[in-house]
Structure 1
């Protein structure tokens, strides 16, 4: 939560247009969806590894050291060491491709940018999930586009 407020005040608000995501009502959150979420996160991990290798030298040439791209997971903001995609149907679970450089940490508030993959809000009477829409958007291109934006920043 603090991360979102921090981004508002630092002018780095994420460009996560709502049309990049599919809303999933609680009654559709099931084991079939879980397999899609796990596949999405694995795809995010694959892209993260490949793209990080591709962009590391570009970042270093621009004075931005220690590029790291990874899929991170948390439940209600807590990054637990044993948290895996198998927990994706638990309330307040979130996964995202995180991008960082220059003295990064794995703490949520330290991300330069992230692309949310899945978030399940279970509060109130009904829960709802939001899932990155691979049928309309290219995750690999989205990650690379954001890296190009970061490279252009001073």
Structure 2
């Protein structure tokens, strides 16, 4: 059991520290970047729907019902029902592809599996962002690999 938790931690840590992301300094956070983030989130939504349909039956065969893959957005950890990619330039905005299925009932577990797309962090006057790098990575493949990892770990 400890190895499952250890591998989950390592997987999440690697997800955040590898070369899948671009550091975006404050002076490059602008409307052009916003358009890019909106398109990235739309692409994530498209792949999420396709892969959810593709893997749903496989997960159910092994007792993992109601596979759900979606774009999750929050500001400073607070999910709001009307939050959209249009607000991506607000500080502390996160967007990520999240994966869940029945069996996770605790709110913290709902975000055990994810691929971060955009995170804008900072203080009152200065900030920076971290953006998933589509020029070096394939989002669909990364979501699919995460699904396979989820399947192995649970």
> Is TM-score (shorter-chain normalized) higher than 0.5?
yes
Scaled by the length of structure 2, the TM-score of the pair is: 0.87
Cα distance, 1:123 vs structure 2: 1.6
Whether the 8 Å contact between 1:67 and 1:99 is mirrored in structure 2 is: yes
Whether the 8 Å contact between 1:77 and 1:108 is mirrored in structure 2 is: no
SS at match of 1:19: coil
| Aligned counterparts of 1:153 and 1:55: Cα–Cα separation in 2 | 15
Cα distance, 1:102 vs structure 2: 1.3
Residue by residue over 1:65-113, the C-alpha shift from the partner in whole angstroms, topping out at 9 and shown as x without a partner, is 1100000100000001110000000000000000001145694552230
1:142 corresponding residue in structure 2: 142
Cα distance, 1:124 vs structure 2: 5.8
1:36 corresponding residue in structure 2: 36
1:49 corresponding residue in structure 2: 49
Cα distance, 1:150 vs structure 2: 1.5
Q: Per residue, is there more helix in 1 or in 2?
A: 2
Deviates more, 1:10-19 or 1:32-41: 10-19
1:93 corresponding residue in structure 2: 93
Are 1:73 and 2:73 an aligned pair?
Answer: yes
Deviates more, 1:42-51 or 1:15-24: 15-24
| Aligned counterparts of 2:105 and 2:48: Cα–Cα separation in 1 | 16
| Aligned counterparts of 2:118 and 2:129: Cα–Cα separation in 1 | 7
Scaled by the length of structure 1, the TM-score of the pair is: 0.87
Residue 138 and residue 106 in structure 1: after superposition, are their counterparts in 2 closer, same or farther (change >3 A)? farther
Deviates more, 1:123-132 or 1:137-146: 123-132
| Aligned counterparts of 1:152 and 1:133: Cα–Cα separation in 2 | 26
1:6 corresponding residue in structure 2: none
List 4+ stretches of structure 1 deviating above 3 A.
Answer: 103-109
| Aligned counterparts of 1:136 and 1:114: Cα–Cα separation in 2 | 19
Cα distance, 1:50 vs structure 2: 0.7
Residue 88 and residue 108 in structure 1: after superposition, are their counterparts in 2 closer, same or farther (change >3 A)? farther
Gaps of 5+ in 1: 1-9
Residue by residue over 1:34-88, the C-alpha shift from the partner in whole angstroms, topping out at 9 and shown as x without a partner, is 0000000000000001100000001011221110000010000000111000000
